[in-house]
Structures are given as C-alpha cells and as structure tokens.
Structure 1
Amino acid sequence: MAVYVDAAIWKHEGLLWCHMLADDLAELHRFATHLGLKLSSYQGPPKTSAPHYDITGFERDRAVRLGAVECSREEIVAVFRRVKVPNGKAMR
C-alpha cells in the first residue's frame, strides 16, 4: 500500500495545494494523522468520488519526506480512478 501526492500547483488563499490519495482508506487517514492533518479536512463521498486530502505544498514536502510517492498529473489521475468509490460506497 502507498500514499500518493501530485504537484502543488493549485492556488488557493495565497498557497499552492495538491492532492493526497492512498490505496487504502485506513492508510490514508493514518498517514494524514502522522502528517498532523485534522481528519475534518478529509474529502470523500458523497462530496467527492475519491477519498483524499487537499494539502499545501509545505505539507506535501513533509509527506514526501515521510514516504509519500510523488506522482505526475497522469499518475495521480490513475490513482484517483483506482480508488474512486462507485456510487459513494465505502472504499474497500
């Protein structure tokens, strides 16, 4: 299992942001907690179809140091499709 981050290119509130996804929902939450994120910042069904966290570029750098896999846009889209929750059901 792995945790993935794309490039921090999305501008919001003066910061650059990216996505953090994982192969497993428990792993995603465990990594987010280790990174110091609040579970309330989690985004998933029914709000979005793929469980993820939006993280800042600073958090991304720390995530990579902690073992997150850096992904290109194409790679993160492939991960998104792989972990997408059909009809908002719980991730396996």
Structure 2
Amino acid sequence: MILIDPPNAAGRGRLWSHLASDTSYDELHAFARTVGIPERGFDRDHYDVPSEWYDDMLAAGAVPVTSRDLVSRLVAAGLRRRKPQR
C-alpha cells in the first residue's frame, strides 16, 4: 500500500510529505513514476513530496497516515532504512 504523511517536514523553505510503501520499493518506485515524482526525490526508504502535491498523491491512491504510523509500517514491513550513524 502506498502511504503519505501530512506535509509537516520543513526544508528548503517549504513543507514536505513523505511517500512510502509498506509492501515493496518496487511498488513505491512504480507509483512515483506514474505520478511524475523525480527519482532525485527518493531518500533511503521514501520520496519527499512538496506540500502542493499532497492532494494529487491522495487522488492517485496514496493513503493518508500520520508520520508515526508511516514509520511504524515501514519498520513492520522491514523496509525502514535509517540514516547512517556518524
């Protein structure tokens, strides 16, 4: 299932959502291609999506979830990729 959290992550003067799959990366990349998200938007286990695209992602079939739920579902599916420790 394709999941999206609310646009609440600030960066580069904008708010961003995270688009992820709790099924597979293949499902996530296929969805991203379908809706026109550039590959450069992929970050370890999700795509960063600007707030102005949020409604379009819902219309395309992404399921709205909280940020906490998105992370929990990635972890449960074994798809969470954390940032390397420095």
Scaled to the shorter chain, the TM-score interval is 0.7 to 0.9
Identity %: 24
Name the SS of the counterpart of 2:31 in structure 1: helix
Instruction: Give the aligned partner of residue 31 of structure 2.
Output: 31
Trace 1:27-66 onto structure 2 (pairs within 5 A): 27-44=27-44, 51-66=45-60
Unaligned runs of 5+ in 1: 45-50, 87-92
Give, in whole Å, the separation in 2 of the partners of 1:84 and 1:41: 16
Trace 1:71-82 onto structure 2 (pairs within 5 A): 71-82=65-76
Aligned-CA RMSD value: 1.9
Q: Residues 60 and 26 from structure 1, CA distance in 2 versus in 1: closer, same or farther, beyond 3 angstroms?
A: same
Give, in whole Å, the separation in 2 of the partners of 1:8 and 1:55: 8
Q: Is 2:14 the partner of 1:15?
A: yes
Name the SS of the counterpart of 2:74 in structure 1: helix
TM-score (norm 2): 0.80
Give, in whole Å, the separation in 1 of the partners of 2:8 and 2:40: 23
Count of aligned pairs: 80
Give, in whole Å, the separation in 1 of the partners of 2:49 and 2:18: 6
What is the identity, as a one-letter code, of the residue corresponding to 1:36? G
Give, in whole Å, the separation in 2 of the partners of 1:78 and 1:57: 22
Give, in whole Å, the separation in 2 of the partners of 1:85 and 1:10: 18
Q: Report Cα offsets for 1:17-70 as digits up to 9, x if no partner.
A: 0111002111100111111111132122xxxxxx11111112221111111010
